Amino acid sequence: MALVTTTEMFKKAYAGGYAIGAFNINNMEIIQAITEAAGEVKSPVILQVSAGARKYAKHEYLVALAQAAIKDSGIDLALHLDHGADFEICKSCIDGGFSSVMIDGSHHSYEDNVALTKKVVDYAHAHGVVVEGELGVLAGVEDDVVAECSSYTRPEEVEDFVTRTGVDSLAISIGTSHGAF
């Protein structure tokens, strides 16, 4: 099978009435476990890479492991940057073989988030990569980022944000938390 974008995956999932698992990866054993299980049930999967994982396992190793997992498992997978903090990390992942990136500009003002997200979208789309943006702030801990307070996504901003940025998907804050334990 192949390294694909999440857009392709989502279209097939919507049409087929199924969900797609997205799992954060850090090393070979985690990638093997996820993709071998997905291969057994013939399910596509999203492998997500955080900034911490890129520091720990190194970008080049993770991309090579994802390519090996495609050959070994026979499944489609997307390699996705999870919560990219700035344009530079997104660009590095786009140039380095990821099929999907998330730019998390939610800690900026609304207008700065729009501008940053649009910049990433323009670069990513020119390279065949899809982009997830974020509106609202999740409370919790992820890598080195700690958000003690959350701010819910304002529904009245969603259409404007998506229209102005051109994101392919959107992460929203509805009161959930992750990484707290």
Q: Are strands 77-84 and 139-142 parallel, antiparallel or unpaired?
A: unpaired
Active-site residue, from 72, 76, 82, 86: 82
Active site residue 82: yes
- For helices 110-126 and 155-165, angle between their N-to-C axes, nearest 10 degrees: 40
Kind of pairing between the strands at 139-142 and 145-147: antiparallel
Residue ranges of E strands in the chain:
21-24, 45-49, 77-84, 100-103, 130-135, 139-142, 145-147, 169-172, 177-178
Q: Where do we find the tokens 């995956």?
A: 9
Pairing of strands 177-178, 139-142: parallel
> Is the Cβ–Cβ distance between 171 and 132 less than 8 Å?
yes
Residues serving a catalytic function are 82
